[in-house]
A = this chain, B = another copy of it.
Amino acid sequence: MTQMVRAAVQTGPRTIEMREFRRPEIGPDAALLRVEANGICGSDIEIYRGHLGGERDPFIPGHEPLGIIEELGDRAAERWGVQVGDRVAVEVIVPCRACEDCLTGRYQACRFRTYGHGVTGVDVAPSLWGGFAEYMYLSPTTVVHKIDKTLPVEIAAMYNPIGAGVRWAVDLGGVGLGDTLVVLGAGQRGIGAVIAAKAAGAKTVIITGLERDRHKLAVARELGADHTVIVDGDEGQDVVEAVTEITDGRMADVALEVTPMAAQPVTDAMTSVRHGGVVVLAGLKGRREIPLVTDLLINRGLTVKGAFGVDAAANRKAIALIESRRFALEKLHTHTFGLGEVGLAIDTLAGDAGDGAAIHVSVHPEYV
């Protein structure tokens, strides 16, 4: 049994170094995860660059961990419904599970959560809180979801972007049988929303992107998108005009905005939906003020929802969808990196390294 665990530790902006930690003792309520893979998302980029505050340094990043239960306490086994050897997906939020919000199912709003996988610093015992490591500690209140062990690692590791698609398009947006959805933004989460919406019976899914996203839009189409719209460059189309034409003037039932930093797509989302439609906002804008004609919301009776993370229900649905093997998810995966290449992996997703074609990127500790 390994006694020391290797992990990638972020010590400051754009600074990651390999360190070793003592393998922790596991009590009856906790567990130890052997990390198989950890997906990377847009907030990893912000965290890596130090834009989300550095007060937690040093810490082990990686908040989309997938792995195998290596050690497991008796009570954890019963409560979580898992066994040693099971593969599980792990949620970033470690709620207190005792406050009123936790009790009523809104654990993501828990004000007493003190830990987070990929967030908590190494000074908090037993240090191994993040997914960019050989092993990760699962605390008594960690949230885990079992997932089919026979799936390829990089596919199973997609539970988070697919879960986001489920949560944002289906659970919050309410997309269902016969509906039309517009997704603004063609990253892994935008494409995850295309997949989730088609799985839930959407009639028409339209996805927008930039000229440089052509290959992502092609993947989106292969995974179910009915229409793609390029919004910039010489052949760029106006989103609202495109939706008007595609829907024969009926407009979309739901619009989902997942672009980073841009303001125009927020307005486009609002003008792309029908009277009484729903707009889901998930693309963070760096706390910028976005100018919005709020009268539009009133005159058209719209509902706008802020999409805060992915919850347990959405993760379960996403896992069921992945396990159904109905979609060719391998088309989403573009890059695999080893534990020593976390910085490169993040730069690759950001388009600062590699060919700019990254969609789903993951770090596999055992990858050479």
Contacts and interface: CB of A to CB of B under 8 A. Distances in A.
A321 B170 contact: no
A336 interface: no
Given A298-B306, A304-B303, A306-B298, A78 B112 contact: yes
Interface in A226-277: 266, 274-276
A294 B285 contact: yes
B176 A200 contact: yes
Given A303-B305, A321-B201, A289 B289 contact: no
A324 B226 CA distance: 12
B308 A300 contact: yes
Interface residues of A, number: 73
B301 A282 contact: no
A303 B303 contact: yes
Contacts of A106: 105, 275-276
A302 B294 CA distance: 15
A27 interface: no
A320 B203 contact: yes
A53 interface: no
Given A97-B102, A140-B98, A303-B304, A112 B296 contact: no
A3 interface: no
A27 B344 CA distance: 47
A294 B266 contact: yes
Given A178-B321, A284-B295, A290-B291, 4 more contacts: A80-B99, A100-B312, A177-B317, A200-B200
Interface of A: 76, 78-81, 96-109, 112, 140-141, 143, 166, 170, 176-178, 196, 199-201, 203, 266, 274-276, 281-282, 284-308, 311-313, 316-317, 319-321, 324
